[in-house]
């Protein structure tokens, strides 16, 4: 054991370590600390709102809760551990055998967010394109299976970077460090994977809105022919479209925040850069991706009157919100729900007197 350590130290001593300037470390901490605090506060507010308000405990918010959990854990674990692994140089953070452990949480929760958005996109697609069978097929059990699958896939993607990282005794904190072929291939795959998945989801939303427009035209024509208005169908379609538009905005925000990360992976895998240039590139381009965890709760609050009302109630002592009364959607047990209004229903055991 002593011989192995000595040989490792002798190899490391023949190479020049690059030192991270203290001013840079302080700047990164000051830059990322407000982001971490904002991520924790905003997502905890969303989770607490769903926990306290019965009208928010409905099927359409299940994916939002799962996404908020992933965003909250990104701020609690993912970003802090990634910063520690990036800025602190020692025998744990520098050697490839243990370095990727510090970035596993960030990879995991980011992958969960991506797969969660994919699941939401598919769910919105079914809600708009197949409205007659949507409520029958999307049972609470199906939601549970989908969310479980999303988290399993996220954990798998978070573990993958730890595989094939090269020589476990090789230090990445040296001036002439070369990325292994396995890591380079992973970076290229991830750089391509993000825009491909986002493009696929974008095409699905294009089809969703085109289908919704066609349905709206048919309903308007039928209403004119019958000289009457079906309030239930119209209200449900309006609610479904508003939820779809909200998730489309979330997808757009995710794409804007994560395309720089895709660019970062492509540059790292394709170009040979100075270690200091790589450090600066990573610090700048990773920030928008982590900031996406703050953006999602703001979108919920802006788009949903119910979320706004719930958050304002909790923030009432701070007097940050105007006292506007908002009509809330009633939440009923499944046993008393109609087919067209099941999206606002929860299981019977949630409704308590």
pLDDT at 207: 84
pLDDT in tens, the chain (353 residues): 333 444 444 444 456 777 888 999 999 999 999 999 999 999 999 999 999 888 888 887 888 899 999 999 999 999 999 999 999 988 888 888 888 889 999 989 988 998 998 888 888 888 888 877 887 888 889 999 999 999 999 999 888 877 765 566 788 888 877 777 777 887 888 889 889 988 888 888 888 888 877 776 776 676 666 655 555 555 556 766 777 787 788 888 888 998 998 899 899 888 888 888 888 898 999 999 999 999 888 887 777 788 888 888 888 877 767 654 444 445 445 444 544 444 455 444 443 33
pLDDT of 342: 47
Map out the domains of the chain with their CATH numbers. 2-322 (1.20.1070.10)
In this prediction, residue 3 carries a pLDDT of: 38
Between the CA atoms of 63, 67, 73 and 76, what dihedral angle is there, to the nearest 10 degrees?
-130
pLDDT for position 166: 55
Distances 302 to 63, 221, 239, 250, 297 between C-alpha atoms, Å: 17, 32, 15, 12, 9
CB under 8 A, 24+ apart: contacts of 11-20: 11/169, 12/171, 12/174, 15/171, 15/174, 15/175, 15/176, 16/174, 16/175, 16/176, 17/89, 17/171, 17/173, 17/174, 17/175, 18/173, 18/174, 18/175, 18/275, 18/276, 19/89, 20/87, 20/89, 20/279
Find tokens 């990879």 and name the residue.
Answer: 107
pLDDT for 44 equals: 94
| 345: helix, strand or coil | strand
**What's the Cα-to-Cα distance from 136 to each of 123, 151, 196, 347, rounded to whole Å?**
13, 24, 31, 15
With both helix axes pointing from N to C terminus, report the angle between 231-270 and 275-303 in degrees, rounded to the nearest 10: 180
| Strand residues in the chain grouped as ranges (E) | 332-333, 345-346
3-state secondary structure of 80: helix
Q: What is the pLDDT of residue 147?
A: 95
Predicted confidence at residue 43, as pLDDT, reads 94
Place of tokens 């970062």: 264
Q: Which two tokens stand for residue 112?
A: 């969960």
User: Count of CB atoms within 10 A of residue 70's CB?
Assistant: 25
Give the residue ranges of DSSP H helices in 227-304. 231-270, 275-303
> Nearest-CA neighbor of 127 among 211, 66, 9, 47?
211
pLDDT at 28: 93
Asked whether the beta carbons of 114 and 200 are under 8 A apart, the reply is no
């Amino acid at each position: 054991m002593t011989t192995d350590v000595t040989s490792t130290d002798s190899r490391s001593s023949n190479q020049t370590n690059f030192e991270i300037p203290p001013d840079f470390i302080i700047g990164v901490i000051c830059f990322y600390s407000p982001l971490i605090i904002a991520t924790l506060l905003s997502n905890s507010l969303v989770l607490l709102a769903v926990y306290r308000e019965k009208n928010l405990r409905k099927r359409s918010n299940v994916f939002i809760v799962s996404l908020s959990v992933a965003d909250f854990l990104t701020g609690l674990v993912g970003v802090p551990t990634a910063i520690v692994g990036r800025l602190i140089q020692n025998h744990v953070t520098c050697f490839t055998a243990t370095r990727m452990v510090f970035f596993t949480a960030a990879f995991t929760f980011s992958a969960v967010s991506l797969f969660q958005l994919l699941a939401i996109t598919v769910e919105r697609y079914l809600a708009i394109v197949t409205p007659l069978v949507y409520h029958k097929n999307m049972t609470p059990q199906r939601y549970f299976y989908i969310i479980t699958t999303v988290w399993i896939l996220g954990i798998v993607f978070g573990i993958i970077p730890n595989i094939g990282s090269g020589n476990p005794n090789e230090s990445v904190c040296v001036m002439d460090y070369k990325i292994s072929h396995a890591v380079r291939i992973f970076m290229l795959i991830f750089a391509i994977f993000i825009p491909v998945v986002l493009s696929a989801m974008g095409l699905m939303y294009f089809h969703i809105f085109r289908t919704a427009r066609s349905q709206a035209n048919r309903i308007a024509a039928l209403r004119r022919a019958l000289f009457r208005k079906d309030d239930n169908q119209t209200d449900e379609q309006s609610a479904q479209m508003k939820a779809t538009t909200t998730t489309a905005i979330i997808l757009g925000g995710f794409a804007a925040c994560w395309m720089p990360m895709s660019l970062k992976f492509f540059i790292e895998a394709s170009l040979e850069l100075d270690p200091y240039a790589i450090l600066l590139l990573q610090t700048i381009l990773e920030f928008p991706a982590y900031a996406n965890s703050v953006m999602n709760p703001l979108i919920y609050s802006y788009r949903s009157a119910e979320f706004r009302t719930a958050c304002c109630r909790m923030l009432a002592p701070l007097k940050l919100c105007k006292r506007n009364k908002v009509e809330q959607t009633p939440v009923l047990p499944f046993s008393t729900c109609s087919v067209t209004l099941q999206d606002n229903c929860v299981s019977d055991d949630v409704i308590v007197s």
